Amino acid sequence: MTETGCGTTATRGPTGAPERHGTIGTQRAGEPPTPAGRPDTAESEGQEAAALLRESRASVDPELRSAIATLPPTMSRVALYHFGWQHADGTPAEGNAGKAIRPALVLTAAAALGGAAARQSAVRAAAAVELIHNFTLLHDDVMDRDTTRRHRPTAWTVFGDADAILTGDAVQALGMRLLATDPHPASAAAAVRLADCVMELCEGQHTDTAMERRAPHEVTLDETLAMAEAKTGALLGCACALGGLYAGAAEEDVEALDAFGRQAGLAFQLIDDVIGIWGDPRHTGKPAGADLAVRKKSLPVVAALTSGTPAAAELAALYAAPYDEEKEDLERTALAVERAGGRDWAQAQAADRMARAMQELARAVPDPEAAGGLLALAEFVTRRTT
């Protein structure tokens, strides 16, 4: 397979990848090759990323709660449940509101180019990005019929499709309103960029759902990568770009930050797709092999299907029919993806995308010390196992 992008052409493919026998639920799910060849700093970067995520959550959560409190009561209840701050009956909960990767990127990018003052000024923008992210989650769960998120039932399974969709719509409006009412001089440009990003996200989701209706042999790897960039890379890129805007960065630096986030987002999606097949349910909160059961054409699966190997033919035959738990062993399906090289390809591609991301980051933030936080966050998401 030939993959093109970012001005380069690289010939890669799962054909001939070494076979490794594994099972669904192993801890190898989030282990791409070390992106920067920096094993000596992996632990410290992980600690730095964790600290940045905690700080971001602490800064952004009050803004999120304040915004959600302005929703009509029925929608506020669904949103608070979705964020993990209330139980279904409306009583308070100490839940999981997510890792806050996207708001952390906004704040860390602002700090990298504008210091602590720029970071503080970007809190509302960071909250806006997190609201947009959660609008997509609320809608995606309905469209994908996912029943579990963050180790609890999804909002639509508790409140119904209509309430989940309408709450998602309202949460998106909240995100745009936060920017529209922000007195910061960059807020207007940020609002336009975020609105453009939402349209790209919708296009990516449309492509994804359309691809699911097509036969396995009709889907190409290039279009799957383009879809993943629109669905995942676009918002991470936008988050970084908004941080640059709030720091008063030059246009070329804002665009480089956007490109950095997009490439890191593709690495994120590649690893997320690997986890969707081989992730441990104790950590993911989802059943093992859930993506295979719903015949999701994730990146490892499409790479495997297009590899031209005997295992690809076996996988195509399995994917041609709906999943039947009495007849099909998901372990066998996962092994077919692995034998066709899908897992190795996805992990190698994640490392390659991280390398490209770091090139873009160096353009925007040439000082390694200033860029350290963004790099730590990007590498954190490609090493995760949950």
Section 225-248 average pLDDT: 96
pLDDT for res 42: 61
Indicate the range of 5-9, 12-16, 306-310 predicted with least confidence.
Answer: 5-9
Distance CA 348, CA 233 (A): 18
Alpha helices in the chain (DSSP H): 42-68, 73-82, 101-121, 123-144, 155-159, 161-180, 187-212, 221-228, 234-246, 251-278, 281-284, 290-293, 299-305, 310-319, 330-339, 342-364, 368-383
Q: How far apart are CA 106 and CA 103, in angstroms?
A: 5
In the Cβ-directed half-sphere of 287, how many Cα atoms lie within 13 Å?
12
- Average of per-residue pLDDT across 262-282: 90
CATH topology of domain 37-379: Farnesyl Diphosphate Synthase (1.10.600)
Q: Give, to the nearest 10 degrees, the angle between helix 251-278 and helix 221-228.
A: 120
pLDDT average, residue stretch 268-279? 91
Give 1's pLDDT tier (boundaries 50, 70, 90).
very low
382: number of CA atoms within 13 Å, CB side?
30
State residue 22's pLDDT score. Answer: 39
pLDDT attached to residue 376: 95
pTM: 0.85
Model pLDDT, residue 384: 63
Question: What's the rounded mean pLDDT across residues 243-264?
Answer: 98
Could you tell me the two tokens for 245? 């805007």
> Is residue 2's pLDDT more than 60?
no
Instruction: List the one residue out of 193, 57, 79, 186 whose CA is nearest residue 126.
Output: 57
CA pair distance 189, 175, nearest whole angstrom: 14
Query: Would you say residue 149 has pLDDT above 50?
Result: yes
pLDDT at 381: 79
Residue type at position 98: G
Answer yes or no: are the C-beta atoms of 20 and 338 closer than 8 Å. yes
As given in the structure block, the two tokens for residue 365 are 């933030």
- Residue 10, pLDDT score: 37
**pLDDT at residue 54, as a whole number:** 95
- Is 117 or 328 the better-scoring residue by pLDDT? 117
Higher pLDDT, 290 or 248: 248
